[in-house]
Amino acid sequence: MSKKYTKDHEWVQLDGDVATVGITDYAQSQLGDVVFVEVPEAGRQVGQGDDAAVVESVKAASEVYAPLSGEIVEGNGALEDNPAMVNEDADNQGWFFKLKLADTSELDGLMDEAAYADFVKELD
């Protein structure tokens, strides 16, 4: 499945009923150099829109929201050791957490890549 995007600049990649979640390249470029990441613990329940992780850069601290409801199955511990991975590879290795979905219909409210690209253009 191709990635889906939120207006909060998270991306979602679905594999079965587990979604990998990260922040977009646009988001990391706006943050600047990422210096600290806190990822959620496995087993935590989150609702769509809930705070799920924290990312701090030299410019600002920001929440990473759960784009979908479900149970955290894995946090990317590598980011805590190497937060710069968010800047280096936001769309792949810089993912924040994996989420077992509670309601796949929530995916319908997310943007595809083209819609997200149009959304970002409007911000500049």
Q: What does the pLDDT look like over 59-109, one tens digit per residue?
A: 999 999 999 999 999 999 999 999 999 999 999 999 999 999 999 999 999
Between the alpha carbon of residue 19 and those of residues 5, 70, 89, 111, the distances in Å are 12, 9, 18, 15
Query: Is 109 inside a domain boundary?
Result: no
Structural domain containing residue 52: 4-102
User: Based on the structure, what is the number of domains in the chain?
Assistant: 1
Query: Is 119 inside a domain boundary?
Result: no
pTM, two decimal places: 0.95
